[in-house]
Amino acid sequence: MELFRVFDWDGAALGRTEGGPLFVARHRQGAGRHDAPARFGAWYCSRTAVSAVAESVQYLRGHVLTDEDFHRAGGFTKALVGFSLDDVLHLVDLDEPSQLVSRGIRPSQVATMRRAVTQRIAAAIFEEGAAGLLWWSTLEAEWTNVTLFYERALPAVSLSAPPRRLSTRLPEVQQAAQRLGIRI
């Protein structure tokens, strides 16, 4: 499976150290959709590059997006990277009705903004032994997001494309901005 992720890049690292595409900042997790930092690192990815970018710029709806918006403290810059995920990993697809029924989950619980609900679902799936879950983006239901349980998924992930700094000139950024109604 091909996945994409936007992350804070230091411009050089390509591994698991801070500033690299394989790094998950567990110390900053806790408020996210599927966060459970005491149990696992939540590694947020998307099946399409446009979705990954859209998730990272959605907070700018109603504003103008500039290249300055991609700069982060400490010399980091938002970047897009592609991953290949080994197909042997067990991922639970929450867009599959049978998965929802078997777990007693309603679609509205998957997409809710109430983090206590979505974090509970992710923790239960983690306890089942899965390596992550697929779910539809609340920005566009046709986009599939993937939350990987970092420590379980990491051995099955490899970079499929080098990181690219986000810029308003990138087609993926332009498409995401257009879909979200963000001016560039």
Helix, strand or coil, per DSSP, at residue 155: helix
What is the model's pLDDT at position 17? 96
Instruction: For residue 156, name the pLDDT band (cuts at 50, 70, 90).
Output: very high
Domain boundaries, the chain: 2-180
Residue owning tokens 């110390």: 27
| Residue 10 to residue 149: CA distance in whole angstroms | 23
Average pLDDT, integer, range 75-104: 97
* DSSP H helices in 33-166: 49-57, 97-103, 107-111, 115-127, 150-153
Q: What is the average pLDDT across 96-111? A: 97
Structure confidence by residue, pLDDT tens digits, 14-39: 999 999 999 999 999 999 999 999 99
Q: What is the pTM of this model?
A: 0.95
Question: How much is the pLDDT for 164?
Answer: 98
Percentage of the chain beyond pLDDT 70 is: 100
In this prediction, residue 139 carries a pLDDT of 95
Distance of CA 74 to the CA centre of its chain: 22
pLDDT at position 68 is 97
Radius of gyration of the chain (CA): 16
Span 38-48, mean pLDDT?
97
pLDDT band at 182 (very low <50, low <70, confident <90, very high): very high
Confidence of residue 138 (pLDDT cuts 50, 70, 90): very high
Residue 126, both tokens: 């983690």
Tell me which amino acid residue 26 is: R
Question: Mean pLDDT over all residues of the chain?
Answer: 97
Q: Which two tokens stand for residue 124?
A: 């239960």
Angle between helices 171-180 and 49-57 (to 10 degrees): 60
Give the residue from 53, 56, 83, 63 showing the smallest Cα distance to 171: 53
pLDDT for the residue 154 = 97
